[in-house]
Structure 1
Amino acid sequence: MAFRHIGLLTLRPDAAPGSAGAILSGLAALRDLVPGVESVQAAQDAGLKDGNADIHFEVAFADEAAWRAYQVHPAHVALVQERIAPAIAAKAFVQVRG
């Protein structure tokens, strides 16, 4: 059964220049770095409305077990610690079966 991890990230106003791009490129790289990741879609908000999140992403997995392995994979952990955590003010995630 397919399994998806969907997230919204809001950057801090004082986030380093280039933070969004660094996060987006890091997310894209996960497909080739983490076994079980089937696809990654990520994009920056178009900036049409104040208050929107800055980044949307969706990572697809074959199943829940692959998502659980991704959560602790060193490449994912490094992305969160080095690029995402220092730059974000807010985050929201959902995991969806099917």
Structure 2
Amino acid sequence: MFQHIGALTLAPETPAEHLEVTAQAFRDLAGVVPGLLAARAVVDPGLREGNCSVMFVLDFDTEESWRAYAPHPAHRAIVDDLLAGRMVGKTFMQVPGGDLL
């Protein structure tokens, strides 16, 4: 397994509903993107200033599947339709072996 973990910070004025739609869009990638075995995503409840807005963990069968995910139309739709113009920060990590989360 190969995990891709992301923490996205959207602009503070982003409505809570938009954050939920974004998290659901990441969860919906499982079964759509080849080699994506599981997708988890959550919205931060906003209890502490400076936290990210949305965090996701994507479990791929191989590193090659993860590499093919970036240009996949379903992923591009999230980037173009939900994140563009709203994202103010992002952090990613890849975990070969997928044993972090």
Q: Same fold (TM over 0.5)?
A: yes
2:88 match: 89
TM-align CA RMSD: 1.3
Uncovered stretches (5+) of structure 1, i.e. residues with no partner: none
Instruction: Write the distance in 1 (CA, Å) between the matches of 2:86 and 2:31.
Output: 24
2:6 match: 7
Instruction: Write the distance in 2 (CA, Å) between the matches of 1:27 and 1:86.
Output: 18
1:43 match: 42
1:69 to partner: Cα distance: 0.9
Which TM-score applies when normalising by structure 1?
Answer: 0.90
1:32 match: 31
Instruction: Write the distance in 1 (CA, Å) between the matches of 2:26 and 2:47.
Output: 23
Instruction: Write the distance in 2 (CA, Å) between the matches of 1:14 and 1:51.
Output: 14
The count of aligned residue pairs is 97
Structure with the higher helix share, 1 or 2: 1
Which TM-score applies when normalising by structure 2?
Answer: 0.88
Instruction: Write the distance in 2 (CA, Å) between the matches of 1:56 and 1:14.
Output: 18
Instruction: Write the distance in 2 (CA, Å) between the matches of 1:67 and 1:27.
Output: 14
4+ runs deviating over 6 angstroms: none
Instruction: Write the distance in 1 (CA, Å) between the matches of 2:47 and 2:14.
Output: 20
Whichever residue aligns with residue 81 of structure 1, its letter is D
3-state SS of 1:78 partner: helix
Contact 1:19 1:87 in 2 (8 A): no
3-state SS of 1:81 partner: helix
Contact 2:31 2:37 in 1 (8 A): no
Identity of aligned residues (%): 38
